[in-house]
Amino acid sequence: MLVFNDLWKYNISTNQWTWMSGSNMANQPGIYGIKGVPSNSTIPSSRAYSTSWIHSENTLWLFGGPG
């Protein structure tokens, strides 16, 4: 199974998807730093199933999912 760690933002009013971050390659390992310390160099690993949420500005965010 191909899994990804890409993050996309969907704008309901314009009906457009925007790539935010993550790899365009499947099955990538994560890069983790020190727990509790923010860093721009950390990357979550690929995931088998997606998760999504709606921001307070009615923007749908979708993370991960099978290929």
21 has a pLDDT exceeding 70: yes
Assess if residue 45 is contained within a domain. Answer: yes
Taking only the tens place, the pLDDT of each residue in 32-43 is: 889 889 888 888
- pLDDT average, residue stretch 23-33: 86
- The confidence score (pLDDT) of residue 17 equals 94
Number of folded domains that form the chain:
1
Assess if residue 25 is contained within a domain. Answer: yes
Assess if residue 32 is contained within a domain. Answer: yes
Assess if residue 43 is contained within a domain. Answer: yes
Domain residues for the domain of 15 are 7-63
Which backbone phi and psi does 26 adopt, to 5 degrees? -80, 155
Q: How far, CA to CA in Å, does 13 sit from each of 10, 43, 52, 59, 60?
A: 9, 29, 18, 9, 11
- The confidence score (pLDDT) of residue 55 equals 86
Report the chain's mean pLDDT, rounded to a whole number: 84
Q: How confident is the model at residue 67 (pLDDT cuts 50, 70, 90)?
A: very low
Assess if residue 15 is contained within a domain. Answer: yes
